[in-house]
Structure 1
Amino acid sequence: TVQKPILVCGAGESLDELTKAAAINGRFFVLAVDAAVPALTSAGIKIDAIAATESQWAIEKAYIGLKGAAQMTKARKPNECAADKNLCQDQDCGPLFLFDLTSRANIARRFDKNRAFYFSQFDKNNFLDRLAKNGLLPKIAPPLGSIGLTATYLALLLRKDPSVPVCVLGLDFSFSAGRTHALESAQSKALYINSNRLRPSSNFAAAFGLGSEKIFGKDGRPVWSTKNLLGYAALFKQFFAKAQNLFDAGQSGIDLGLKRKTLWDIEAAASTDLSLASNPCANSNLDSASNDSGLANDSNRVQNARDFLREELAGLRALADLLSNGDKSEARDKSITLDEQISRALLGREYLYLHFPDGTEPSLERSFLTRVRSQIDFFAKDIETALAAAQS
């Protein structure tokens, strides 16, 4: 668990207040959202943990040049790194990556030596219930929608007890005219890189586009926001209203309903031993965060996962045979009707149809089942690949 003050860094403009005066190394446990990583690394600020929640391709730009545990420990001797646990024990092991089940898989593979998993319960369905009952889901977090809210929730989870202060910075949920993110963020860098005589390095379309509205920030200055951002800000106020020792360290952006303090006031008031190891590998109470959510060294869970995948693969093949051959299928159970057997086979496999325009509920219509049949081969191949990788 983390015993020093925790600083949650979003990628809003107020993050510039920190990057222009980077004197916090060693004083705070820095938990950054993925979009804030370039700004912090450019300022020389040591990141202890990253909420790597984003799933879209565009977020990969935020990790350009970032070194993880694999790169930092490559040249070390075996006795200098606990390789059997995939866990570096010194202070240069790189940040701890906190991955959601829906995080971008390429990033999770790239930074695979020092990571933890959690699950934002974005939906309630039978398939997720099956995973939970089989012990295959990591720690569950509420579906907060915004990575800034999720990072704040994770920070409260990581701290040793409520006496450890947590402060947020860069969670603005608003922006000034011409900008959207902190300086040195991937979004701001893209504006500079693509600018020319006819295209300035400013983004006024965000402020004056459809859906944007002018409001006044906590410092009294006019800023712009959108319905979505205002909704996230309102949810932040509601969800974290009763959180103890949670402070707003930003001087700009939307009022979050938190007591406002400077970083230095928070650091000075914290009764903590700042000589504590800042190694993020040892500072987590997520689900076995230090060893890949426990799966790397827990043979029971690994075997449980393999058994589940094998059963799921067999179930998919049986369903495919039923859809292709009907009553002549080798998987046919004559004690029930064909429709009933297909309905039971679809139960708990919502991943086969939830992405359909009409996939909120399973249907026995021919057009629906034809599309389901076309999906089975794709997911079966994925499972076969996973089983082959687990055996190698």
Structure 2
Amino acid sequence: MEQEKARKQEQRQQSERFNTPAERVHLQEASKLLNLDREPTLKEIFVKRKELDKWENQVPNDDQQIRWKDETIRGTSETYRWIHIFENQRQQAQDQLEHINWINPFKLKENRMTKEQAERDMSKAEDQITSGDKTLDAYREKLGFHTEKEFQQVQRQHQTDYPGLLEKNRQIRGHIHQERKVLEKAETAHQNAFVRQVASLYSKRTEMRYISLKTAKRLMDMKQANGNQVVPIETIQNTLNNRKEDIQRLHGEIDRVNRQRSRLQRAEGYLNNYKKYHALVEKIENNPFLKGKLLVSKSAKQEYDQAISTRETYQDSMKKEGVSGRKDLEKQFHNLGKMEAGVPAFKDQIQSQEKGIDLLDAIMKGVEQAGRNMQREQKLPQQHLAKTKNKGKIRHRGWEMVR
């Protein structure tokens, strides 16, 4: 009992410190709704809202059932009306048959035609009555009646109950809506108190009073992850900046390795092509027949000059990539292998630095937004004052003009 009393006292002090008087009223209203002698927790509010959702989902079903019964009764009534119409038609045809005067020989042909038409009308009416009775079988099963008299009792009872049932459902929906508003206000009061509680941990930073609920939750998560110690915003900012710089530096190291690999691969291609054309030039220069052919064949001379020019182009391109020859290339590939051996470690470091960086980044963005919100709110009174002064100047000018 003492522990419960102490807990309630702590909760009351917490509420008085971080909730406005209006919010405390909202929490008290929620306590009455939930039959509690204390302020409700967010979990209790959540459970009650789920109950309201379930209750509210049943109300449309009740409405649908009421309207379904109303439509079914109207359908049954309409079916009986059509049956009565065909019963009257059958009776009229029967009366025609009974009143035919067969004694008069001059109306024999007319009487036969009248009889045939009456019999057709009776047959048609019988078919319609049979069809209508089959339709009534479905309605009898749905509404639970057997005779037309029993149906009329069901119909009268429904007509009596129908308006009241709809009104009852309307009141239920209004009641659910009202209770949901009470719970929403209490939930908002809890959230506001939580935000103010977190903001109180950073009392020297006035913009923290304007942080969002998400930012407050993230700061609390960081506090709990840090052994329940408050992490200053400056520390969060510095940690975020340092991590971003390290990640950028590590990505730069990986990019440098990739650039080295690409450079050496290009140089290797230039070297291979240089060797190809160099072999062609040496073949011509070392073969007396081919060398002599250069003096008499214009096409052979052009081919030789083209091979020399292409060889020099590839040699220049290779040197531009920082490679002087095969040995130099192999030496640089060896050094590249050492550099590539460090890439997995760079990636592990990046992955390590990225852990939790989203949380840090989200917190700082939330704090920056809080600062903008504070500035915007501080400007509102100044803007209002400026508008008031302008209105006063306009009125003063108006009076001057009138004078």
TM-score (norm 1): 0.22
Q: Which has the larger radius of gyration?
A: 2
Structure with a larger share of its residues in helix: 2
Structure with a larger share of its residues in strand: 1
TM-score (norm 2): 0.22
